Amino acid sequence: MHSLMSEERARHPRPDFYRKSYQLLNGKWDFAFDDGNIGLKANWQSGKANFPLQILVPFTYQSEKSGIDDPGYHPVIWYKRTFTLDEKLIGGRVHLKFGAVDYKCDVYVNSEKLVSHEGGYTPFSCDITEFLVAENTLVVRVEDSRDIAQPRGKQYWKDGLMGCWYTPCSGIWQDVYLERTDGISIDYVHVTPDIDSRSAKIEVVLDKIPGYGEVSLEYTVMYGSRVVRQITSNVPHRRYAISLDMRDANRVDSLKLWSPATPHLYELNIRVSVNGRLTDEVSTYFGMRKVEVKNGRVLLNNRPVYQRLVLDQGYWEKSLLSPPNADALKTDVELIKALGFNGVRKHQKIEDPRFYYWCDRLGLLCWGELPSAYEYNWDSRQNLCRDLSEFIKRDYNHPSIITWVPLNESWGVREIYADKAQQNFSIMLYYLCKSQDPTRLVSGNDGWEQTITDISAIHDYVASGEELAKHFATREKVEAGSVAGRMCFAEGFTSSENSAFMITEYGGIAMTVKGKQGKIANMETWGYHDKVESVEEFLKRYKGLTDAIRNLPYCQGYCYTQLTDVMQEVNGLLLPDRTPKVSPEIIAEINVNPEGF
C-alpha cells in the first residue's frame, strides 16, 4: 500500500479510503443534451445512440474546462464512454464509483441499469462485476432541475447571475473510477479518537453480513514508518468495533496530537480475510484530537484555540466547482496558511475529499458546511437530512473538520425567527449532527436567528472597525438584539452557558484597482460597501475591522469573506486564478494573534 504521504495517495480520489487497485475513468466522454427528454424512449441507455458532443470529465458542461462551455439550462444530459479493465482489476469484484454527480442520475453498464442516486454533492457506487464483458459501455443519464428544494449551495436557479449566487454545475463534477475487491469488503470505517482516555475506537462496516466462513480483520496502526498497534480479530457481524490503547510507553508524550501547529496523523491499514484468504485491504488515517466548547471558549485538545478563518467557496474561473488539476486543492490550503489563517470555512459546498486531506496533512482547521436549499417544504427537509448524513459519513475521519454547519443565514428557513416548525427543523439538524458525530461542534444557523448552537455565530459586514466595535460592545447586548437587520437568536432562544461567540462573516472588501471591473454576464461586480481605491485603503479597512474583532475580549475568532473572487463577487484576497491581490505576508502579519493563538 502507498503511504499516507505519498504522491500516489494524494492523487487518489479518496486518500482517506484508499485501495491500491483502481482505475480512473476520467477524460473524454461522449455527451448529449436531452432538452426534450426523449433519450429514454429512444433507448439511449443502450449505448448504441450517437451523442453529438464530447466532454472532459470531471468538468461540467457549464465550464470552459469541459470543452463545451455552455451556461444555458439543460434539464437532462447524457454521458457515454467505453472501457476495458486494467489488468490489475481482472479476476476480482469490480466496483464503479462516482465522487459526485449533480443532481439525480441513473447509471447503465452494458444496457443494464445498475444504480440510481439523488444528491449533487455526495458519493455513490455499485458492484458491476456480473455485467462486465471484454469491452464495456458505460452510460449516465443526469437530471438537474431548477427546483430550489434540492440542496444547491451557491448554484443559481435562474438564467444569469444574482447577488452572491453563481453559474450552476450540472452532471459529473468529481472523479469516476473503478476499484477491485476479492469478496467481502469494507463499506466504511469510522475512527473516533479520545485523547482523555488515550484511545481510539475503530468501527468497521462490511458490505455484507459474514456467512459461514471465518471472517477476520487485521488492523495495523502506524505513525510514519513505525508500527504503533497491530491486532487481528474475528468478525461475527457486519458492523464491528474495537477500541485501541494509543499510549506509547517509550515517550514522554504518550500521544501525537493533531493540531494546526502539529498535524500528526496515524495511518490505519485494515485487511479483511475469509478463511485465511485476503478479500479486501483499505488504508485510512485519523488524528488524535478533541474539540469542545466550555465556558465560552473553544478548546482544541483541552487548550483554548482562537480561530482565524477565511471563507472559501471552492470555485475556479475555468472549471467552476471542480478543481482544475490535481494540485489546485493543495495550493489553496497552502495559500490560506500563507495568509496567516489557521482555518477555513468551506462555504456552501461539500468539497472534493482531497481538500480535507490536505487540511489534515498541512494543519488547517475546517468547518464543513451543508449546501442550502431555498425553500422550506417536505422535499427540502428530506434532501438536507440525507445530504448532511452522507457528508458526515464520508468525512468523519478528517481531524481538520471541527465544526458542522447545517444552515446558513436562514436560507431555506426564512421564517425561522417565529415559526416553530422551522425552529424545530434547525434543532433537529443540530441533533442529527450530534447523534452521528458527537465529537465535533455544530453552528446551527450560522449568521443570525439561531436556535440551539455550540457557537454563537454572527455575520456583520459593517464598513469600519469603529462601527463594528459599537455593534459588539458586549456579548449580552448583541445576542439580545440584532445585527444586519436580523435578530441574533430566534424567538424564545438564547445562547447556552458554554457556547462560544465568533464573528463568522465580515469584511468582503473589493477594490477598483484589483480584480475584474464592470459587468460579468448580467451583473456589476461588487463587494460590501463601496470599493476601495487602492491597496493601501484596502489594508487600512482590513486591519481596522480585524483588529476591532480581536479586541473583543469575549470573541473566540472570526471568518473573513473571502479567499478568492468568484464571478461577480470580487471581494477576495486572491484573484480567481489564485494570484494574491495583496502580499500574503502583510495579511498574515495582521492575522497572526500576538498572544500566540
DSSP string, 66-96: GT----S--SEEEEEEEE---GGGTTSEEEE
pLDDT of 406 above 70: yes
Preceding omega of 108 cis (within 30 degrees of 0): no
Query: Which triple of cell numbers denotes residue 263?
Result: 498535524
**Residue range 220-231: mean pLDDT, rounded:** 94
Architecture of domain 186-286: Sandwich (2.60)
Quickly tell me which residue has 483541552 as its cell.
302
Q: Are 169 and 530 in contact (CB under 8 A)?
A: no
pLDDT of 10 above 50: yes
Distance of CA 496 to the CA centre of its chain: 27
* Mean pLDDT of all residues belonging to the chain: 96
What is d(CA 319, CA 59) in angstroms, rounded to the nearest whole number? 6
Band of the pLDDT at 597, cuts 50, 70, 90? very low
SS3 at position 477? helix
SS3 at position 393? helix
Output the pTM of the full model: 0.97
Band of the pLDDT at 594, cuts 50, 70, 90? low
Which pLDDT value is given to residue 209? 87
Which pLDDT value is given to residue 595? 54
What is d(CA 467, CA 549) in angstroms, rounded to the nearest whole number? 11
Q: Are 497 and 430 in contact (CB under 8 A)?
A: no
pLDDT, tens digit, 9 for 90 and up, residues 407-447? 999 999 999 999 999 999 999 999 999 999 999 999 999 99
pLDDT, tens digit, 9 for 90 and up, residues 263-316? 999 999 999 999 999 999 999 999 999 999 999 999 999 999 999 999 999 999
**Residue range 453-461: mean pLDDT, rounded:** 97
pLDDT, tens digit, 9 for 90 and up, residues 354-394? 999 999 999 999 999 999 999 999 999 999 999 999 999 99
Count of CB atoms situated within 10 Å of the CB of 579: 10
Same fold, 186-286 and 291-591: no
Which pLDDT value is given to residue 593? 61
pLDDT of 321 above 70: yes
Query: Which triple of cell numbers denotes residue 532?
Result: 476601495
**Residue range 184-200: mean pLDDT, rounded:** 97
Band of the pLDDT at 252, cuts 50, 70, 90? low
Going by C-alpha positions, the residue among 501, 367, 371 that lies closest to residue 441 is: 367
pLDDT of 343 above 80: yes
The CATH fold assigned to 7-179 is Jelly Rolls (2.60.120)
pLDDT, tens digit, 9 for 90 and up, residues 117-139? 999 999 999 999 999 999 999 99
Angle between helices 535-550 and 584-591 (to 10 degrees): 20
What is d(CA 316, CA 354) in angstroms, rounded to the nearest whole number? 16
Going by C-alpha positions, the residue among 185, 178, 220, 225 that lies closest to residue 205 is: 185
Strand 555-561 and strand 307-312: the pairing is: parallel
What is d(CA 495, CA 473) in angstroms, rounded to the nearest whole number? 17
Of the given ranges (145-149, 479-483, 536-540), which has the lowest mean pLDDT? 479-483
pLDDT, tens digit, 9 for 90 and up, residues 474-523? 999 999 998 888 999 999 999 998 999 999 999 999 999 999 999 999 99
Which pLDDT value is given to residue 448? 96
pLDDT, tens digit, 9 for 90 and up, residues 75-94? 999 999 999 999 999 999 99
Phi, psi (degrees; rounded to nearest 5) at 554: -95, -10
Report the share of the chain in percent with pLDDT over 90. 94
Superfamily of domain 291-591: Glycosidases (3.20.20.80)
What is d(CA 215, CA 509) in angstroms, rounded to the nearest whole number? 58
For residue 552, give every residue at least 6 positions away whose Cβ sits within 8 Å of its Cβ, in sequence order, or none: 469, 472
Domain ranges of the chain: 7-179, 186-286, 291-591
Band of the pLDDT at 596, cuts 50, 70, 90? very low
pLDDT of 251 above 80: no
pLDDT of 562 above 90: yes
Band of the pLDDT at 461, cuts 50, 70, 90? very high
pLDDT of 6 above 50: yes
